[in-house]
Amino acid sequence: MRNLSNSKLEQKLGKIKALWRKANAFAEEAYNAPYRSAIARAKREQDDLFMLMVYSELMGIPNPVSFYTLELQPLMLERFHEWHIRMGMEHSPLDNIRCC
Amino acid sequence: MNAIFVLIAGIGAMALGYFVYSKFIAEKIYRLDPNFRTPAHEFEDGVDFVPTNKYVLWGHHFTSVAGAAPIIGPAIAVIWGWVPAFLWVIFGTIFFAGVHDAGAIWASNRNKAKSIGALTGDIVGKRARSLFMIVIFLVLLMVNAVFAVVIAGLLVDFNSAVIPVWGAILVALIIGQLIYRKLVGLLAVSIIGVIALYSLIGLGPIFPLALPETFLGLSDRAQWIVILFGYAAIASLLPVWVLLQPRDYINGIQLFIGLILLYAAVLIAGPEMIAPAFNTDVPEGTPSMIPLLFVTIACGAISGFHGLVAGGTTSKQLDKETDARFVGYFGAIGEGSLSLAAIIAAAAGFATLADWQAVYHSFGQGGVNAFVAGGANILSNGIGLNVDLAQTLLTVMAVLFAGTTMDTGLRLQRYIFQEWGQIYNLKWMQKAAPATLLAVGACLLLAFGAGGADGSGGLIIWPLFGTTNQLLAGLTLLVITVMLVRLGRPMYVTLIPLLFLLTMTVAALIMQLKTFYAQENWFLFGLDIVVLIAAILIALECASVLNHLRKGDEKLE
């Protein structure tokens, strides 16, 4: 008898949960549908820029990333020296960045 | 007459319109086909073209088109008595707005979901497309200026709403973050948001806020206008998910709660319509009802703005073509019912005729402030809300509506400037920030130039805004008419509204021109001439197109 009422209660709870889920899904759709295109378009724009950054040098466009990382050079000079020694190169392997 | 009868008659007529007339339109005129492959399916890309549940789409369409305009227009037009406003709203919704909105969705749906502007170019001709762009620019300009004046007036007159109005923006920002970071489910967020908003509304009357009466030589209204444009400029530059999306969502929920509360209060309180049915004793300087009524109430009876939403976004998400009837026609009915509530609030919300006449002491007065004051009385009699609280609630509702329209409008106007930058190859104008500044500048000029800033002029610019809106509707109706004629179907359902609108708009513009001349209001006089030229060009375009069609000439250009 008790088990029966328990299972009934569970059934009811399950129904309420399902209803909540359904209402939640509906609310989510109502929230997202109006702005789906604006947000997707903004994301697409960012993705396009990212792709351009990744493949720019292959297309002959100088990648601005290396230009900006050049600024880090003074900070990395010590580590750069240790690195080229470890790599078995007595002097800096790069023409435009002299080290020792 | 008791407002309950007005309400039931209005709702009953609109229901009849939906079940009978829209069925006729959908089946016999547009011949909506459930098997037609809609652009949402044909070009489905997960970005613009997404088949959407028709109830969700209706909600989106309705909340995009229902703003402060269907409240302001009728609440101004009540000055001629409530019966003319009532009749125009009800018959306008049934025979004009519903046909126009559903038709715009249908027309766009049958043409790869192109916007109505693009359709004008394809179907009518290049000249019509240029006219369309000019009218859109004028509509947006006026919308932003008028709504800034309206919000400023509300915030000064009902300063208990200052905290909830700006607090609502904070609530929206928080909700946006909660949803974006997926911290809480949407239904829970909605409940939290609504509770937060209504708690703020409760706090408002306890902590009213007012700006200093003059600051740097600006009156308090002018200060609010400047602040509002500052806010709208920032809001229109933010990514949409940060503020606009959660704000629209909360506004949508609030719209339904507000409408239900108002209708319930009318049914419980059953107030008498205090305003005269036909006002034979209009204040001096009030223009003639015909044609001005038909441009004073634009949204709520027929509005060209709906065509922009229908063609730009709604048609791209239409799951089945037959949904156009529900989304478009029933969307128009939703807006009509909002206008009906505004009429009842502005006509039945006053204790005596003398009180009503004190508010409507000259043309352009009343408006949304009468809606708030009258509606608050009805709410307090009907469901026992404290009058201050009820006023705050309705003010917040009106301000949030107008505010959302403002920042969407400013965003759209920025796009237009950016497009001009591309066309005329002006690099600086293509950037977002300078284009926004230009848009804000143009709107500010209009807001101050129109005499709304000091609050003395009332909304004299309102009918002018209505005329541009009606011209836009006229162009959309022209597109639908041409399509119908080419398909060999009866064109009278769209042609008669089109001719009626054009006649009334041109007549209203000429009449307004005379008034502005007499008042020596040169700013509005100039603006009126610009709109009048656009109207005449549109009328000529219609005449030439119809003439070609009559001769059976397929080629229009």
Tens of pLDDT, residue by residue over B165-177, are: 999 999 999 988 9
Sign of CA dihedral B253, B235, B416, B413: positive
In chain B, residues with a C-beta closer than 8 Å to the C-beta of A29 are 52-53, 56
Note whether B186 contacts A24, CB cutoff 8 Å.
yes
Whether B60 and B306 have beta carbons less than 8 Å apart is answered as no
Count up the domains in chain A and report the number. Answer: 2
Taking Cα atoms as reference points, which of B172, B169, B163 lies closest to residue B203? B163
d(CA B190, CA B175): 8
**Confidence band for A64, pLDDT divided at 50, 70 and 90:** confident
Across the interface, do B240 and A41 touch by the CB < 8 Å criterion? no
Within A1-100, where are the H helices?
2-32, 36-55, 64-69, 73-86
Q: What is the pLDDT of residue B75?
A: 93
Percent of chain A with pLDDT over 90: 2
Phi, psi of B264 (to 5 degrees): -60, -45
In chain A, whose CA is at the least distance from the CA of B176? A31
**B64–A29 CB contact, under 8 Å:** no
DSSP 8-state code for residue B161? G
B47: closest chain A residue by CA: A37
In terms of average pLDDT, the best of A15-29, B335-349, B448-462 is: B335-349
pLDDT reported for residue B287: 87
Q: Which residues of A touch B187 (CB under 8 A)?
A: 20, 23-24, 27
B309-318 pLDDT tens trace? 888 788 999 9
Answer whether residue B519 shows pLDDT above 90: no
Mutate to test the interface with B, among A26, A37, A44, A47 (most CBs of B within 10 A): A37
Q: How many CB atoms lie within 10 A of CB B529?
A: 13
B98, B309, B325, B338, B556 from B55: Cα distances, Å: 17, 16, 12, 18, 38
Q: What is the mean pLDDT of residues B17-21?
A: 97
A47 with A6, same domain? yes
Tell me: do A43 and A74 sit in the same domain: no
Considering only residues A66 and B321, tell me which one the structure prediction assigns the higher pLDDT. Answer: B321
Mean pLDDT lowest for which of A96-100, B247-251, B265-269, B408-412?
A96-100
Report CB contact under 8 Å: B249, A31. yes
Q: What does pLDDT average to over chain B?
A: 89
A92 pLDDT band, cuts 50/70/90, is: confident
Residues of chain B found within 8 Å of residue A27, distances taken between Cβ atoms: 186-187, 190
How crowded is residue A56: how many other Cβ atoms within 10 Å of its Cβ?
Answer: 14
Cα separation, B485 vs B286, in Å, equals 40
- Which domain does A14 fall in, by range? 2-60
Q: Does A13 share its domain with A48?
A: yes
What is the Cα–Cα distance from B343 to B71, expressed in whole angstroms? 8
Per DSSP, B316 falls in state G
Could you give the angle at the alpha carbon of B202 between the alpha carbons of B196 and B205, nearest 5°? 140
Tokens of B211: 């700006």
Q: Are residues A37 and B47, on separate chains, in Cβ contact within 8 Å?
A: yes
Inspect the interface and report whether the beta carbons of A30 and B50 lie closer than 8 Å: no
The pTM for the full model equals 0.87
| B507 has a pLDDT exceeding 90 | yes
Residues sharing a CB contact under 8 Å with residue B15, sequence separation 6 or more, in sequence order: none
Task: Work out the mean pLDDT of chain A and round it to a whole number.
Answer: 83
Cβ within 8 Å, pair B313-A34: yes
**Minimum distance, in Å, between the CA of residue A41 and any CA atom of chain B:** 7
Asked if the C-beta of B185 comes within 8 angstroms of chain A's C-beta atoms, the answer is yes
Cβ contact (<8 Å) for B52 and A23?
A: no
CB contact under 8 A, B56 and A30: yes
Element (H, E) at B265: helix B244-269
Clarify whether residues A41 and A76 are in a common domain. Answer: no
- What domains does chain B contain, in order, with CATH numbers? 3-550 (1.20.1740.10)
Closest Cβ–Cβ partner in A35, A40, A44 for B245? A35
* Cα B224 from Cα B214, distance rounded (Å): 11
Check CB contact under 8 Å for B187 and A38.
Answer: no
Give dist(CA B481, CA B103) in Å, integer: 9
Residues of B in contact with A30 (CB under 8 A): 56, 59-60, 249, 252
Interaxial angle between packed helices B98-109 and B462-486, expressed in degrees from 0 to 180 and rounded to the nearest 10: 50
If asked whether residues A55 and A72 sit together in one domain, one would say no
Do A39 and A76 lie in a common domain? no
Q: Is the pLDDT of residue A68 over 60?
A: yes
User: Which residues, in sequence order, are bridge partners of residue B214?
Assistant: B219
Q: Are residues A56 and A81 in the same domain?
A: no
Least confident interval from A27-31, A63-67, B87-91:
A63-67
Cβ <8 Å between B47 and A24: no
Q: Which of B185, B187, B248 sits opposite A34 (nearest CB)?
A: B248
**C-alpha dist (Å) from residue B69 to B65, B166, B218, B291, B406:** 9, 21, 27, 19, 11
Buried b (16+ CB within 10 A) or exposed e, B235-248: bbeeebbebbbbbb
* 3-state DSSP of B483-530: HHHHCCCCCHHHHHHHHHHHHHHHHHHHHHHHHHHHHCCHHHHHHHHH
Angle at which helix B462-486 crosses helix B305-312, to 10 degrees, equals: 50
| Residues of B with Cβ-Cβ distance to A24 under 8 angstroms | 185-187
Which of B180, B241, B242, B251 is the best mutation test for A, with the most CBs of A within 10 A?
Answer: B241
- Who among B60, B186, B241 is closest to A39 (CB)? B241
Count of CB atoms within 10 A of residue B52's CB? Answer: 23
Judged against a pLDDT cut of 70, whether residue B326 lies above it is answered with yes
Contacts of B186 in chain A (CB under 8 A): 24, 27-28, 31
- B241 interface with A at CB cutoff 8 Å: yes
Co-location of A56 and A30 in the same domain: yes
Instruction: Measure in Å the smallest separation between the Cα of B85 and chain A Cα atoms.
Output: 32
Q: How confident is the model at residue A67 (pLDDT cuts 50, 70, 90)?
A: confident
pLDDT at B557: 41
- How confident is the model over B432-482, as pLDDT tens digits? 889 899 999 988 888 887 665 565 555 778 888 899 999 999 999 999 999
* A51 and A69 co-located in one domain: no
Are A7 and A41 contained in the same domain?
A: yes
Residue B277: how many other CB atoms lie within 10 Å: 13
The mean pLDDT value for B304-310 works out to 88
Nearest CA distance, B56 vs chain A (angstrom): 5
Q: Does the distance separating the beta carbons of B60 and A33 come in below 8 Å? A: yes
Interface test with A, best of B61, B186, B238, B247 (most A CBs within 10 A): B186
Q: ipTM for the complex?
A: 0.72
Contact A33 B57 (CB under 8 A): yes
Q: Are A56 and A68 in a shared domain?
A: no
- Asked if B430 is an interface residue toward chain A (Cβ–Cβ < 8 A), one would say no
Closest among B254, B265, B134, B155 to B211, alpha carbons compared: B155
pLDDT at B201: 93
pLDDT at B468: 92
Average pLDDT on B156-170 reads: 92
Residue A56 and residue A67 in one domain: no
